[in-house]
Each structure stands twice: as structure tokens, then as C-alpha cells.
Amino acid sequence: MSTDEYRRGTAVERERQQKQRPARGRYRGVLPVIYAIGFVMFTGVSLYIGPEPAFAVYLVTHVFYAGLVRADIKSLRGQGIDWGASRHLWFGAAFALPFVAPAYYLYSGRVIRRENKSRNLDD
């Protein structure tokens, strides 16, 4: 018998119920749509207006991407997925680099599938 069988209380019950639910990224599905909209805006502004306003679009969209990545990682951590220190790297990279948002989308999908498989919830 493990020690978990002796533990009681609402926190333990919540923990057991949480392990039975499949993990899902709360903002993960929105990220490709926002990325596509930002890419179209950046391209349009850089072609028709100029590079200075395009840089402003770049900054604003990447602040938004970083916020979405941070919120998604926070929601996944709340579901029991441990990210370790790499969560800070994903956030910083999403703020600065142009192709991190799609890379995060693919990587988080792998992490979620792996976690659901370990929970025996192949969803």
C-alpha cells in the first residue's frame, strides 16, 4: 500500500480528480490564429507603410505572444504538468524571437500528449 491511501481531505480528492482529467492547453488553440493575424499585419504594414511601424507591430505582437505562452504554461502547470526552468526560456524567447510561438505550439502539443499518455487518458 502506498501512503496516498492513508491520506484524506479535499486536497487529496482534488488531486485524484485532477489526475483523471486529460491535460489541455487553455490558450494553445488560440496561438496559431493570433500568430497568423500578427504575421499578416506585420507583412502589410512593412510593405505599405514602412519599417518603423512594422517594428512597432512586431513588438506589440510579441508581447502578446509572450503573454499567451506564459498564461498557457501557467494553466498547464495548474493541471500538474511540470515545466521546470524552461518555462522562463519559452516566455523570454516568445517575446524576442519570431518563430517561437509556432515552436511552442508544437512542443506543448507533445508535452500534453505525453502527459495524457502517462495518465492513461489517450485523448
- Which amino acid, one-letter code, is at 70? R
pLDDT in tens, 15-58: 665 556 777 888 888 889 988 998 999 999 999 998 899 989 88
pLDDT in tens, 68-88: 999 999 998 888 888 878 888
Give the Cα-Cα-Cα angle 103, 82, 104 (nearest 5 degrees): 5
Give the per-residue pLDDT at 103. 92
Q: What is the pTM for the complete model shown?
A: 0.74
Residue spans of the domains in the chain: they are 27-117
